[in-house]
Each structure stands twice: as C-alpha cells, then as structure tokens.
A and B are shown apart, each in its own frame.
Chain A
Amino acid sequence: MRPHEHSIRRFRTRVAGLLALRYTLVLAAVWGFAWGLAVLFLRAAFGTERQPLLWGLLGFAVAVVAAAVAAVRRMPARRSVRALLDKVSNCGGLLMAGEETDLGPWRDAMPAIERPRIIWRSGQTWCVFCAAAAFVLLGFAIPQRYVDMNAARPPLDVTDDVARIKEQIELLEEEAIIEEQRAETLEQKLDQTAADASGTEPGKTLEALDHLEQELRKGAEEAAEAALAQAEQLAAAENLAAQLDQAAGQLDEKDLAQAMKELSALMEQALSENESLLNEALDEKLLNACKDGKLCQADLAKLCKACQLSKDQLSEMVKKLAEAKMIDAEMMAKCEGCSQCNNDRLLAFLAKSGMNACEGIATGNCPGRGAVTRGRGDAALTWKDPSTKENTEFQEQVLPPNLAGLKDSTRVGVSLSAPKVEDVGSSSGGALGGAATGSGSAFTAKVLPRHKGAVKRYFERQ
C-alpha cells in the first residue's frame, strides 16, 4: 500500500471515531435530558419506583448505535481526504491527480505526505453531556418525598363538613325525601370531593361541598313545604272533624251529611298526597270509609286522632330537618304553626260549601280576632306591625350654596330703617351666577330679605 493510501485510511478512521464519539455524546445528552425528565415525571406523578426506571439505560445503547451509523454516513469521502492531504502536504494537485492518472516520474517528486490532525473543540459537547448525566442522576437521587406531587399537596380537613352532609343525606333518605339511589349517588359525590380535597385549591373543594349542601337543603325545604301544606290540610280536616264531633247535636241531618261529605273529600285529598303517612294512623275500616266517602259520626274521634298522629309525624320530620340545619327558622316556625286551628280558612271553606249555618262551628273555640268588627267581645285583641317614624322626626336642611360666603362677612353698620328691597331680577343657578366675566371677578352673591331666617340660624350656630 502506498504511504498516502495508508494516511487516507488512517485519517478517515480517526475522523469516523471522533464523529462517532461526538454523535454519541450529543445523542446521549439528548436522551439523558429526556430520560431524566421522564424519571422525574413518573416519580412525581405516579410515584414509580427507581428500579424499573433504570431500563432507560438502554437508551444509551441505542444512542451509541445511532451515533455509529451517523458517523459512518458522515465520514469524509476518500477523494476529499486525498484533496486535504494534497493541500496540507503542498503537493500542488499531484496527489489528487494521482487518483485519476498515473503520476509516472512525478511520484518521486511528490513531497512527503503530512498527516493532519483533527482538532475537536469538544468542551461544549462534554459539558452538555455531563449536564445531562447529572440531570439523570439527580432525577434518581432526589428522595421520593421531595418529588411526590401528591405528598406535597397541603391537606385540607373537611371531615366535619363531610360528616354533617353525610348525616343530612342519611336523614333525607330515612325520611324518604330522596330515593335510595339518589342518596347513594350523592354519597359517592361527597366521598370523591373529600378524596380530592387539597390545600392548594381549597376553594374548589369547599365550593363542591357547598353545592352538595345546597342541593340537600333545597330538597329538605321542598319536603318541608310539602309537609307544611299537608299538615295544614290535615289540620283543616282535624279541625272540621273535631268541630263536627262537638256540634253533632246542633246540626240538622242535611248539613251534617254535607259536612261529612266535605270531610271525606278532605281526607281523600290528603290520602292521595301522602297515603303512606295516613296508612299508619288509620285502620283499614276507617281508611276505606275515607276513600269511599262514607264517614259517619262515630268515625270523627278516630279521624281526629289519626290526623293528629300524622301531623305529629310531619312535625317530627320537620323538626329533624331543622335540627340538621337543613331548613331555616322561618320555615320551622311556619311548620310549627300549621297545626293550629285556622278558622278563617274553615269559615271560607264552609261558606264556599254553602254551609253558612255552620259558622258557629267554625268560631266555637276561636270567638274572633278582636276589635269592634272582628268577633265577639271576649275575643283577644291582636296587634299588627307598629307604625313607622317616617315624617315624624326633625329633618335637617342644608343651606343653599350661595350663602357660604356669609361666614367671612363683616358688619359695616346698623340701620334702623327698613331694608330697601331691590329688584334683583330672576336669579340664575350656580354659585358664580352673579360674577362678571373677565379676570379678577369676585363672588357677588347678594343677601336678600328672604334669607333673613337662614342668616339668623347661621349666626346662632356660631
């Protein structure tokens, strides 16, 4: 082999080696950063153990292979290397021409072939590689507690709120206000909210809990309103039944039959709205009589008792809702008062039913609401809202703005004669209404006789 062929081969081999090393470092650095990032992510997000992550080392092997392939492909051509050797050896084209033609006697005249050195400024590449390696090591070395995103989340204690809402759900389920499936769904939502509770976003958790609680409260209020309406209906029926029972001897047959018929209608309506409630309180015979509209005098006492029992149950439910703080005090008060006798409604009902003769029944226990035209003389007086203090208290008045200048006025003399009234014409609005145009204009408001009272009050305050 000729010396220059040997040099060409050695040079190419050396360049290929350096290129392979360079590409290996570059690719390994790229892989190192990617791997380190993946390690940190997996450990932080999923708490992955270190050992499985070591499979990433295989990426370096792939990088080495890829670098070798790239180096071979990037290796300079023989002709280029020959040209380089020709140049650095000052062959003046002889070495290059030797590839195309026979040099003949010029071969001996050719200068000695120099072996050029390859200078690789590898500092930057090594730095990047070392940084990547350090990044990977750091990704592995950091203790789990520092990278675990879940552990790092500050806790949010919502145990009390969750327990309270859970009790509310159970109460609503127990009172058959919500269905069992709905209750289960709400409990699942509540558990999920409690699991997701994080100190980083407390608002989110608390808002979710508020939403759940409001939903439950809305259901409770609707149930309480329904119970209120039902209790009022039962109270009306009970009231009518009690009054009919008391006035059994005072009514003629026709009115009694009509009243019983109306009572049956009331009971039938109450049964249609909440049959389960009355089922417990009424025996089968009475229940059938209510449904068939065949109530008789003997059933009235039982009916009163059943209505009372049902009302108590409704009242008990409302009380529980109030204790669970699912309804407000106003609703509770309404529900408590619903069972009291409301003879106005009874009277209206009887009037509507054409039973004017039964007015005495309605007013039997409640002679009136007081006053001259409202019931008998023994009726208790009732008071409504107190009168307001509007237009009864002293109201301060602010003086017009053009009197403010009086504060700086001085007395120049006292006249005993009556003040001369000047015609000032129509007054114009604004504090500077009387000011002349141009610079140096002064405030020239005039004090008129009608301002006497105001001026006097002003000095009195002084």
Chain B
Amino acid sequence: MKPDHEPARLLDPSELRPAVETANRLLEQLNRMLLGRSELHRMVLIGILARGHILLEGLPGLGKTMLVRALGQLLNMKFTRVQFTPDLMPGDILGTHILQQTSDGRREMTFQPGPIFTNLLLADEINRASPKTQSALLEAMQERCVTLLGATRELPDPFFVLASQNPIELEGTYPLPEAQLDRFLFKLIVSGVDVETLDQIISTRRRGEMPVPTWSISPEQLKQLFETMDRIVLPRPVSRYISRLVAATHADSPEATEQIRSYVAYGASPRAAIAIAEAARAQALLAGRPTVGFKDVQTVAAAVMNHRVILNYKARFDKVAPYAVIAALIERLDESGLNLPSDMKVAEAAHE
C-alpha cells in the first residue's frame, strides 16, 4: 500500500539556522521591550509562527495591549486596535458600503473596509461586544476573508487576531461562544509580575512606555520563517500521541483519566489536534530542531486545549480548572504507547 504522503526531507541545519535565529531574535526583542514575561512571549510567538489567533485573559493593567502593540512593531505589520463595547456593530469591524459620487458625477456604493482589514487586529475586551458582533469575526478568523453583500474580500496575509478579555467585571459581558473560542489557537492567562520585574519596570520605564525595538522583522524574513515552519517534520509517533491526547479529553475515551471522566462535559475538537501539531512545530523551530518531539507537544498542549475542554458543573463545585485536568492527563498518558502492564514502568538510566 502506498503511503498517503512522501516522507519529508529534513531541513538541513544550514536551512534551519536562519529561521531559528530570526525567531529567537524576535523573542529576544519582545523580552527586551516587555519585562518579566518571557514564557508568555514565547507562547505568543509560537502562536504567531503557527499562524493562529490568540486570546489573552488577564486583569486590566497587565500589559496585554502593550504586548500586542510590541508584536505589531516587531513584525512590521499593519496593526489595528478595536475596543469592543456592547454597542459595537459588525459593520464597525468589517466595514460597510457607503454611497459616493464618482468623478464623472455618478453615484455608486463603495466598500469602506473596516479595521479588520489589517495584519494584526487587537480585539480589546472582546467579551464586551454583543454576540452578533463577536460572530462577525468567525469567518474572518477561520477563512481569513470577509463576505459583505455577497462579495467576499480576502484579508491581508498574514492575519492575526489577538483578543483580550477581562475575567472580572463580568456584568454586561457576553462570554465567547464555544464556536468562537475554538477558533483561537491559544488561550493564554496573563498573570501578574513579581517584585523584581515591577522594580525593574518602574526604574527603567518612564510612564511605563516600552522602548523602541532595535530590530524588526522584514516581510521576506517573516515569509521565510513561515516556509521553514511548514518543513518542520512531525514524526508518526508524535502525531499519534497528539491524537491520543486529544481523544483522551473525552470522557468516554478508554485512555481518559478519572478526573476527565468526572469533570469533563465535552472534550477537545479535531481542530485542537491540528492546533497542537502546528504549535508544536513552532516550538520545535524555536528550539532549533527540524522535528517535533513529545516535549514540544506537552509545552503547547495545555494552552491549546484549556479553552476547548468544557468542564461540567461538578468541576465548578470542586473548583477544578481545565489546566489542572489537562496537566493531569499529560502526566498520565504514556507518550510512546508501550502499553506496559500497570506494575511496570520505564525509568531513565545511564547513557549508551
């Protein structure tokens, strides 16, 4: 039987190196501009490299907007910010047709693009907009195009949505529906910074303004980065592991943990498996490898699945978070699939 795909040729180190350097330089710049969140920056960069949309959740004043702005500057992309409010209409984002008089005196309907026609869209406080406005983003996020009055218009390439939402002050907000949450590659929790970072911020940043980047990526470099990303090899055992991981988030799966059987109402979708694979590729690229390993998957799996796994009321009563459930699953699931008896386990030993 002929295999579905030809075995991919591994990137030569010389081919991989420029992309790795570019990616790491991006990360370095980001860390330089924004202090104390290297892990968050790494995950955001992974999301960008995987061409995914990112949902940032955190309290006000933690630098979510600043992060997106910095990213826009570094990526040298067109950056737009939309502050979502309850009275925001879909047309305010997507654009609208307006009546205009042409030079020859005729009047015709002309499309006026909305702020979504950009490379990097910051949807600030996305949960404050009405569901109607939120759903206007569905097609744009998945298909990367906008359809208005029967005409479909492509969005600029690349197109990223980085949305932020506030976990408190939920009065007057509209929680994102599952369909829309599923379109975000990552949901990243933006937590507070430690004392040292705060000290560093207030002593080196006047009025909290971030420094101007010393370097930004060119469109050619970004294109090369994406091309390199596409050539990162995902070995079969790793893809198998991703599949098992996503399948195990369903309560009826034979590999589901006891916690999942108790607390999970709906498991992750196939889109989650695709997202993990792409994000793991980006992680491998940042690590300077042409192949994806199990640890790459484990690094990104929680961020990919935590907003896709829907917990039941019992989990809310027991104050169990999706992160804990997924972490327990990653800890429990045997990556290699050796299927050893329960009283046998593998321990690391000496080098060969």
Contact = CB atoms under 8 A, between A and B. Distances in A.
Contacts of A15: 338, 340
Given A101-B8, A116-B347, A120-B344, A81 B352 contact: no
A96 B351 contact: no
Given A83-B336, A97-B235, A100-B236, A92 B284 contact: yes
The bracket for how many chain B residues form the interface is 35 or more
A80 B13 contact: no
A80 B336 contact: yes
Interface in A241-269: none
Contacts of B339: 74, 76, 80
A92 B341 contact: no
Interface stretch (A40-48, A106-114, A399-407): A106-114
A374 B61 CA distance: 141
A79 to B, nearest CB: 6
Given A80-B338, A93-B289, A116-B348, A121 B237 contact: no
Contacts, number: 145
B349 A115 contact: yes
Contacts of B238: 83, 93, 96
A105 B296 contact: no
Contact of B349 (A18, A114, A120, A124): A114
A94 B346 contact: no
Contacts of B233: 93, 97, 100-101
- Main DSSP-derived SS at the B contact region: loop
A181 B335 CA distance: 84
Nearest to A107: B10
A93 B235 contact: yes
A307 to B, nearest CB: 99
B254 interface: no
The bracket for how many chain A residues form the interface is 35 or more
A87 to B, nearest CB: 5
A117 B347 contact: yes
- Main DSSP-derived SS at the A contact region: helix
A122 B236 CA distance: 33
Contact of B235 (A96, A113, A114): A96
B352 A115 contact: yes
A96 B237 contact: yes
Contacts of B296: 92-93
A88 interface: yes
A124 B342 CA distance: 12
Interface string A109-145: 1001111111111101100000000000000000000
B337 interface: yes
Given A96-B291, A109-B13, A83 B237 contact: yes
Nearest to A7: B352
B346 A91 contact: no
Given A109-B13, A115-B350, A118-B346, A76 B293 contact: no
Contacts of B9: 101-102
A148 to B, nearest CB: 41
A121 B236 contact: no
A88 B350 contact: no
Contact of B340 (A76, A97, A114, A122): A76
Contacts of A101: 7-10, 233
Interface string B291-315: 1111110000000000000000000
B293 A92 contact: yes
A106 B11 CA distance: 9
A104 interface: yes
Given A87-B335, A93-B284, A117-B346, A22 B293 contact: no
A87 B12 CA distance: 22
A84 interface: yes
Given A93-B284, A97-B10, A101-B7, A88 B289 contact: no
A83 B335 contact: yes
A102 B237 CA distance: 17
A106 B8 CA distance: 14
B105 to A, nearest CB: 65
A3 interface: yes
A114 B351 contact: yes
Which 3 pairs of residues, A with B, have the shortest CB-CB distance? A93-B291, A96-B235, A92-B293
Interface of A: 3-4, 7, 15, 18-19, 22, 74, 76, 79-84, 86-88, 90-94, 96-97, 99-106, 109, 112-122, 124-125
9 contacts: A76-B336, A80-B338, A84-B335, A87-B294, A92-B291, A100-B7, A100-B233, A103-B10, A112-B352
